[in-house]
Structure 1
């Protein structure tokens, strides 16, 4: 461990010792500098500087989450059912967002940790290691880094809630304190079927105005979940922004006048929901280790048959909400400023907590930082004990590591769906199976309001088929999305049977409009980009990510219609060759020729399914590729993945031993990195590295012992 716990009462003693050490070093230096004279003024200045340095170090924010009772993070529509808690949530958000930008616990500063304005936070050393944000994407620390990030946001928001309560008359404050007890920020479950005909994107997020109760009574305010306003203009340190440097966050923006198009967000998310639901469900069925299921980085998962991930699913929501017209969520560097980011990421954290119950004896995989970041250089090795910078667990400046955030209750919150293995299975089967496990009672119709097929129970002889997509995260400026349809071609799309792929400049809605929803399978978003500026860092090696779009539900629909005989590869290969289409859409809504995108590959693979027994999940067998389906598509020819210099092929392997094609290596015991690349040899060499051990005991709903997990 890089630093040790010290009682607060010994600060003066520590300061004196520190100064004495400084004096000793100064005296030693003076001996070798011909006895340079140290005046009293110099010594006093040295003392003051040492005191300042120690006080600054002791002034780190201790990220604890909300202290006191451990509270439940609820789905936003469920939180709304408690009127007082919902009121406090909104008023806390309003106050939180109004904090001055100079406040370390302001919405502006905490959101700014993720990407721009590329500035330090919480006494992290300056200058930054690289001119970049702190967010971990496309790496093995994606899931755990965002956990304390969400917690400091929740902690700062809850502080604002307490400040709001103090503004109410004294005889009303106990009512609001009772409401605040156990109150936590909510999540937005974009994959679950909306209850009672509600919208997939709740109006709670989309309405511009909302009614709340303040000390003066009922009033209407700007909905704090609708947008965030930087001010009259973007702060200069942001360095410009999307949509003509517009100073308010936007979703799928349109002009004349400039505004968010939340109706289109709702329409597109409604169309994407079946795909998101299926991706979540089949990821749980994959039983891949937590370390591999959490990250989209292809190099961490070269030995795993299922190559989807929660990060890749997360990317699709960013792309759909932000939209190719350049909304805030479309850009990695700006996305955290949109209030919907926090609702979305809290859901991702929930799914990752649920997945901990699915594969309880797995955790973070070893990995290498594959792009320059504010706190790390490209090429540094990381593992579960690596410090999650810049998130400090105490005022001394000690950083959390992934082991220390494994149990969400240590940060003051829990999710009901992740409270036990049984709760996890009930949630997955009830919310995301689409009746595939045979447990959910189905309606008489298998079609959704969008016209898409809803699915059926998995039967003996069924196969699960996916379109797998490999893409370079930073191949283009901004994000880009691969939209897939299965059925008669709609608009300009890529298939084996249509004319050669053309670069159409037709509006985005022409190729993914609501009228084509019955054939829409889903979208794979490559979430990257730096707003209206080119990337500030040199990505010398491609950052390859991989995800997959399940085709199984759409194939079930084709089977129900009598178009195909079964889901067996022999019965679907010709159908897929004829009817599988995809379109790549980039910034501005223009189609992009897939064969012009570096490192872009698509392929279809299929695996046998075994129906579930009881409330257990169906099992998925080994995948087999179907190269003939995509052989004539751009990016669809067979290819062999060659591990790059920043890939790990094992969870336990600390330093890879393969030979990379990228150039001569630095030594015989380290990976062969490109010339000039800075590499941190071992994770434990990093300043702030701290080895922690944790035992988590799992119990059933009655408190009975189930099992325990050590890490």
Structure 2
């Protein structure tokens, strides 16, 4: 077996008690301090050099991104012991948060090694030490997609992609003199194959399948952008891509028009969805928090109706909004190629941060914050290393990530403590003096309370601070004193078949109003006035193309009719329809809700709640769905 690559994390910058921070990207770029300015340049140069590496290089951008999906080839493995076309898929899996943690660590470590071995040596000697010191404290920035940003020329804060991703050209310091500033192609704007190679030459082929009318459907895999420009070749469902065109403006507008983001009638901002993850009585277990996977055993009791919300589901929808839908589909919307968009890594750094915050607030509750107990463990669908039916436990290997040169794999227990991996986040600094008791010892209760306070400050949906409430509504319509009362929280809980269309990802749209025919609405469905939320499957097509298999995990899930779970809260949408709120300004097709009493709400939903399905890759493939096994409510 060839030597393996140990993923150890960055060891530089660590003191006896502290580790460097992963920072929110828009607080880090453009640099406001000399250290951050140098780190900006180190990162941009390192990412450019990484993307320029030969695609056959194990530590190239292409190979590292390929771990997530296509081309479904071994990475850092003994190929004689592996079956091809299986992949490392851990979506819809209990291992979803922990598997992606060493994945981010690998990417971070490789970039750091390029900084110190390839970037800094090109500088004049009198600049090298300052840049080496800055590299030591650099860690991969995260994109907090649930926190509004301040933008020049905007009166209000808004949700947006990071500034570092927005322009095709970016300024850097010339490494020859360490002073001169000039522009290069921005490696965070898109990934382009080295030497203008085509991805198809390296196994990233278009995904093909058939629709209900036996038309061949192609999901192109050649684009190198997030929201790509769409140009229909004909009136058929097949599409062509304009190579390399990034539509960040579409992402920005969608982030702010969509009900999870905007201020419209729905009042279900993304920040509230994230906030619910950390409300003490809302998420009952680690398994609920971690994954969309739905336990189908006959004796399974999901417990609270809140049990359908989870981190992976929110993560899925971010992939959709960033990658595009309807007429526009980029890499981020497709699991098989998502990691080829450079924004993927900052998105997943934030997913890791949400995971770490959950661990932080659960520090005092050992029965809730991990999955040691049998009741918390789920059966795996299998991949290259995990056998189908094996229980996912904290000691399950997280292939292909090796923790040492002997070839031992990381496990979830190995990555449980991020501080031991050499990084942390701004909210998670247990060494700070404010967490010490009167004797100077660490006080876990002070630490947990402060993490919760910071989460509330960032994500709480208003002054009242309860996840079901909006600060402008009368107290008579909410729980006493603004405390969460989940008996008054109206949510749509959904179990869905991830592989209903052979794994082609699709979106379930929910509406409150007079039913209408989705094909009659020419604009994106999320802009419809009745729209109250959606669920994106972020599933993998079970075939790479009509002749070759795709993800083995996904093929097995499709055969077993696997179900996943998600949740759309609609309390805000219902309150907005109350006469005390709407003041007679309800859009056409939306009906007044005279009371929030349970009987009245039940009758209202029975008459006005409806839903439709649209495939992210088949813009004309639209279904109006009733309870036929695809969607069910709890």
TM-score, normalized by the shorter chain, greater than 0.5? yes
Closer/same/farther in 2, CA of residues 240 and 76 from structure 1, 3 Å limit: same
Q: 2:525 aligns with which of 511, 518, 528?
A: 511
Closer/same/farther in 2, CA of residues 226 and 117 from structure 1, 3 Å limit: same
Distance 1:190 1:527 in 2: 17
Query: Residue 596 of structure 1: CA displacement?
Result: 8.6
> Which residue number corresponds to residue 435 of structure 1?
462
Q: 1:215 aligns with which of 175, 183, 192?
A: 175
Contact 1:275/1:550, CA 8 A, preserved across alignment: no
Contact 1:468/1:548, CA 8 A, preserved across alignment: yes
Structure 2 gap ranges (5+)? 152-156, 208-218, 232-240, 262-267, 430-446, 474-480, 584-591
> Which residue number corresponds to residue 323 of structure 1?
324
Q: 1:363 aligns with which of 359, 370, 377?
A: 370
> Which residue number corresponds to residue 542 of structure 1?
561
Higher mean Cα deviation, 589-598 or 235-244? 589-598
Is 1:529 aligned to residue 546 of structure 2?
A: no
Query: Residue 252 of structure 1: CA displacement?
Result: 4.4
> Which residue number corresponds to residue 450 of structure 1?
none
Closer/same/farther in 2, CA of residues 505 and 119 from structure 1, 3 Å limit: farther
Contact 1:484/1:583, CA 8 A, preserved across alignment: yes
Where do residues 26-425 of structure 1 align in structure 2 (5 Å cutoff)?
53=1, 56=2, 59-68=3-12, 69=14, 70-80=19-29, 81=32, 82-126=36-80, 128-129=82-83, 131-162=85-116, 163-195=118-150, 197-216=157-176, 217-230=180-193, 231-241=196-206, 244-246=220-222, 248-255=224-231, 257-258=242-243, 259-270=245-256, 271=258, 272-273=260-261, 274-285=268-279, 286-299=282-295, 302-305=301-304, 306-324=307-325, 325-360=328-363, 361=366, 362-364=369-371, 365-370=376-381, 372-419=382-429, 420-425=447-452
Contact 1:119/1:128, CA 8 A, preserved across alignment: no
Where do residues 538-687 of structure 1 align in structure 2 (5 Å cutoff)?
538-539=555-556, 540-559=559-578, 560-561=581-582, 563-564=592-593, 567-586=596-615, 587-595=617-625, 599-603=629-633
Closer/same/farther in 2, CA of residues 576 and 596 from structure 1, 3 Å limit: closer
Query: Residue 478 of structure 1: CA displacement?
Result: 2.0
Distance 1:330 1:252 in 2: 11
Contact 1:206/1:262, CA 8 A, preserved across alignment: yes
SS of aligned partner of 1:134:
coil
SS of aligned partner of 1:577:
helix
Contact 2:227/2:323, CA 8 A, preserved across alignment: yes
Contact 2:229/2:242, CA 8 A, preserved across alignment: no
Structure 1 gap ranges (5+)? 1-52, 447-455, 494-503, 604-624, 626-711
Distance 1:252 1:392 in 2: 35
Distance 2:544 2:400 in 1: 26
Query: Residue 387 of structure 1: CA displacement?
Result: 1.3
Query: Residue 428 of structure 1: CA displacement?
Result: 2.1
Query: Residue 287 of structure 1: CA displacement?
Result: 3.2
SS of aligned partner of 1:200:
coil
SS of aligned partner of 1:413:
coil
- TM-score computed with the length of structure 2 as normaliser: 0.76
Backbone CA RMSD of aligned residues? 3.0
Runs (4+) of structure 1 exceeding 6 A deviation are 442-446, 459-462
Q: Which has the larger radius of gyration?
A: 1
Higher mean Cα deviation, 220-229 or 83-92? 83-92
Contact 1:143/1:294, CA 8 A, preserved across alignment: yes
